Structure 1
Amino acid sequence: MNDSTPSAPAQARVWVHYAQFYLADPELGTDGLPTPEQATDGILATGRDGACVRTGLNTGYVTVSAQCLPQRPDTLPAGAWGTSSEGTLESTTGSLLVHSWEDGAIEDLPDLAAHGPGLYHLRISARGRDQGQAIDTTGPGEDSGEHYFLETWPIP
């Protein structure tokens, strides 16, 4: 990737179970990453080579958009977001993909450590978490109304 060109935002439905999804290197997996209970702000727990995102929905699909940027953006993401969380994580391998707890890496979303190994800042914007929590569980064809936008950029 050219360091001055951000990846285009991509979107995918991500199956969550036990109110969580992860960012992880597919080769390393999610074992050893923080758990939803470690999300002190109720949304994000970061660790070495990954992070755990706590969702409102217990089981079902949430919509996730993701983008790796070359540097901190000048503006917040467009749209109506109910809450956000930020953190720092280290990618020792230069690979950080969204992972479903059951389905593994979501290949339709970009690598959030696309600039190689190192420290990254992660910003998560979310909406519909209260709705997802109230619903608790949806079937495969149902929309929970819960959405996340993940942005990362390298820390020099």
Structure 2
Amino acid sequence: MADHTVALSVDNGCYHLTDPATAQPLLYHTGANGLVGVLGDGAACVCTGTLTGYVRVTVLAAQEPPAAPDPAAWDDIVEVSFTSPSGRFGPACPEAALLPNLASAGVGTYRLRVHVRGRDTAARAETANNADDVTEEHLIISWPDAGGEPETIIQATDAFGARLRAHPPTRPRCRRPIP
């Protein structure tokens, strides 16, 4: 079980995790946690401090729940449930071809643990137009799950996420709100 890292392109302050079988519109949605909002079966929005450009994303598809995260290494850590209708999902961007399928057990429900650091610095800069400018890092770990677990905030320390949690949208929207 190896992890894979890429400089992932973002636009409008987010990137999406999608399953090719989803019919969900890919909107901006923070969820109540300020980091990842599940849009429905096969689609989720991961909110970035970087408005446009690149963030560094590492993904790991596991077969079982990972060890407890190291809170000293990350600013925010959130877990959500994600349903994969086709048995394939990952970031919806050109760089996704370089990443493994996050649906390690095929069709079904997965638990996603999304970690982030550097969002506050990235939000001040707004853009990271090349890989050398990237200050924001994400780690996404997925594993098969029976489902039904509530969204869980393991850690929430960045100011960017605090602003999103203070004013969560009542529904997903097309564009990132101005914090």
Q: What TM bracket, shorter-length normalisation? A: 0.7 to 0.9
How far apart, in 2, do the equivalents of 1:81 and 1:15 lie?
21
Classify the secondary structure of the residue corresponding to 1:36. coil
User: Which among 38, 43, 59 is matched to residue 35 of structure 2?
Assistant: 43
Alignment of 1:63-102 (within 5 A): 63-76=56-69, 80-100=73-93
**Do the aligned partners of residues 155 and 33 (structure 1) sit closer, same or farther apart at CA in structure 2, a change above 3 Å counting?**
farther
Alignment of 1:2-151 (within 5 A): 7-25=1-19, 27-28=20-21, 32-33=24-25, 35-46=27-38, 47-76=40-69, 80-100=73-93, 103=94, 106-151=96-141
Higher helix share: 2
Q: CA deviation at 1:95?
A: 0.4
Runs of 4+ in 1 over 3 A off after TM superposition: none
**Do the aligned partners of residues 48 and 77 (structure 1) sit closer, same or farther apart at CA in structure 2, a change above 3 Å counting?**
farther
How far apart, in 1, do the equivalents of 2:83 and 2:117 lie?
26
Identity of aligned residues (%): 28
Classify the secondary structure of the residue corresponding to 2:120. helix
Q: Alignment length, in residue pairs?
A: 145
**Do the aligned partners of residues 77 and 71 (structure 1) sit closer, same or farther apart at CA in structure 2, a change above 3 Å counting?**
farther
How far apart, in 2, do the equivalents of 1:41 and 1:96 lie?
22
Q: CA deviation at 1:122?
A: 0.4
How far apart, in 1, do the equivalents of 2:30 and 2:16 lie?
13
**What amino acid sits opposite 1:17 in the alignment?**
D
Q: CA deviation at 1:79?
A: 6.7
Q: CA deviation at 1:50?
A: 2.1
The CA deviation string for residues 42-67 of structure 1, in whole angstroms up to 9 with x for no partner, is 11011211211010110011000000
Answer whether contact 2:24 2:41 (CA < 8 A) is retained. Answer: no
**Two-structure CA RMSD over aligned residues (Å):** 2.0
Normalised by the length of structure 1, the TM-score is 0.84
Deviation larger for 141-150 or 90-99 = 141-150
How far apart, in 1, do the equivalents of 2:74 and 2:65 lie?
18
Answer whether contact 2:89 2:103 (CA < 8 A) is retained. Answer: yes
How far apart, in 2, do the equivalents of 1:153 and 1:37 lie?
22
Answer whether contact 2:24 2:42 (CA < 8 A) is retained. Answer: no
**Do the aligned partners of residues 79 and 12 (structure 1) sit closer, same or farther apart at CA in structure 2, a change above 3 Å counting?**
farther
